[in-house]
Structure 1
């Protein structure tokens, strides 16, 4: 079982400290969320900076809202980050569900799933070194693998789960252990039905904060603001893990469900959380 750290989004200037601590600790991955109409760092830019400040840990978007972006440029950005990080970049993708994000990007909310499918096909073509079209040549640089960075997909709807089997290497599950198992089973079944060899990589995501009450309150406020649009922010904030025992229990539950990695998302700015969580999982 691998354990990753989800980075806070409220104060981008603290992320270098978070990343360096995580890179020297027991963690497998740094994750970063995405929004357009929100006061958060752009994840590809931020992870590119963090790639230069780290040497070992993976860098993962969870999830990048691909339909907001032009696919040729996204393919180039992802390949560049993958190449310059020595293959440590993992591209987690999703469709997004916030109307304001799509309004600001000039994209249509109702066609976002179809747009993502089309983007994946084009990006894979470009990563393999094929030309963009009959009149337009290849778009480099080449990533570390011809198929491009590892692709993970997040989501809950049937189309999102099937997308893992059709295009991806694994599933990002932002779900509690109590109902994540059914999602895992569906993804594995569809993986087999699509004739994919082996098993999909399963990455679970839970929210956590360790520290004083001020640290926990800061994390809850930041998380509540991020999820305010959903109408379920209070419920999600209440489910945040705030003790070492809660974190260890969740990790054990996900391990029993067959998850390969658990990402512990920390919305509070206090970088000492990295060390506290390292102690809790050691």
Structure 2
């Protein structure tokens, strides 16, 4: 099973260090989250920078809140990133749920699901080289990956699972224990069959980790609490932070047992020595 590394967001200047270390090590993927009204780096710009600093590891949004973005520009940005990374880009995508993000982007939070469905139709057509529509021709460059970059949908609602069958290549499940995530994985597989898709969906899980001295772990916990404050579940999310090699190995084994193809270990503290600590814990 593949093991990815989720990048911290509290000190963007250190992310090149993280990327160099991870690319030289055994990790499969670098993941980065998305928010608009928050103190985090913009994910597509950041991953493009990291693509130029790496040669092997994949680059993944976890997840990009697509309804906040202009669709034509998003098609161009993601195709460019896929091409410039040599096909190493995975577009993890979702609707988001924060009212302030939607307000800042000028969209109605109640219509974000419908907007994402419309965006995915447009993105797939654009990546295939079709005219964008409404008098507009094709938008290049063409992605190096046939049909466009790999797309993973994140979320918990039935609509998110349904989108995997309609538009996606797989599913990204975060912040759920294995026994609950297993149910979502099985539902994704049922939807895949419902749409008569060939092969099988790629199933990716994400867990939060922090390895190191007390200040590293404390900072990770504070960052988790800050990020999830809006949800009313911040305490629960911070309690799920795994801070020992044994607990991380056990969680990875449990997620492998429910069929995860990849587990992304999301780090919430910018201490770059965690790259080597986490590698030592799980490989």
Q: TM-score range by the shorter chain?
A: over 0.9
Equivalent pairs counted in the alignment come to: 282
Runs of 4+ in 1 over 3 A off after TM superposition: none
Which residue is equivalent to 2:76?
Answer: 76
Which residue is equivalent to 2:18?
Answer: 18
Give how far 1:132 is off: 1.3
Which residue is equivalent to 1:129?
Answer: 129
Q: What is the RMSD of the two structures over their aligned residues, measured on CA atoms?
A: 0.7
User: Is 1:65 matched up with 2:60?
Assistant: no
Which residue is equivalent to 1:178?
Answer: 179
Which residue is equivalent to 2:276?
Answer: 275
What secondary structure, in the 3-state scheme, does the structure 2 residue paired with 1:202 have? strand
Deviates more, 1:140-149 or 1:60-69: 140-149
Q: Where do residues 53-202 of structure 1 align in structure 2 (5 Å cutoff)?
A: 53-133=53-133, 135-174=135-174, 175-202=176-203
CA distance in structure 1 between the aligned counterparts of 2:202 and 2:265, rounded to whole angstroms: 17
CA distance in structure 1 between the aligned counterparts of 2:130 and 2:245, rounded to whole angstroms: 49
Is contact 2:82–2:145 with CA below 8 Å preserved after alignment? no
Give how far 1:178 is off: 2.7
CA distance in structure 2 between the aligned counterparts of 1:61 and 1:182, rounded to whole angstroms: 23
Which residue is equivalent to 2:234?
Answer: 233
Give how far 1:236 is off: 0.6
Which residue is equivalent to 1:244?
Answer: 245
Which residue is equivalent to 2:219?
Answer: 218
CA distance in structure 2 between the aligned counterparts of 1:14 and 1:118, rounded to whole angstroms: 36
Cα deviation digits, residues 159-216 of structure 1 (max 9, x gap): 1111111110000000221311101011001111110111100000000000011100
What secondary structure, in the 3-state scheme, does the structure 1 residue paired with 2:3 have? strand
* Structure 1 unmatched runs, 5+: none
CA distance in structure 2 between the aligned counterparts of 1:245 and 1:270, rounded to whole angstroms: 20
Give how far 1:145 is off: 2.6
CA distance in structure 1 between the aligned counterparts of 2:133 and 2:275, rounded to whole angstroms: 46
CA distance in structure 2 between the aligned counterparts of 1:160 and 1:63, rounded to whole angstroms: 12
What secondary structure, in the 3-state scheme, does the structure 2 residue paired with 1:111 have? helix
CA distance in structure 2 between the aligned counterparts of 1:171 and 1:224, rounded to whole angstroms: 25
* Structure 2 unmatched runs, 5+: none
What secondary structure, in the 3-state scheme, does the structure 1 residue paired with 2:215 have? helix
Cα deviation digits, residues 199-252 of structure 1 (max 9, x gap): 100000000000011100000111111111001001110110000001100110
What secondary structure, in the 3-state scheme, does the structure 2 residue paired with 1:246 have? helix
Cα deviation digits, residues 108-153 of structure 1 (max 9, x gap): 1000001001001101111111111262211100001331000000
Report the TM-score, using the length of structure 2 for normalisation: 0.98
Deviates more, 1:137-146 or 1:208-217: 137-146
CA distance in structure 2 between the aligned counterparts of 1:188 and 1:161, rounded to whole angstroms: 9
- Call closer, same or farther: CA 1:134–1:221 in 2, change over 3 Å: closer
CA distance in structure 2 between the aligned counterparts of 1:81 and 1:125, rounded to whole angstroms: 17
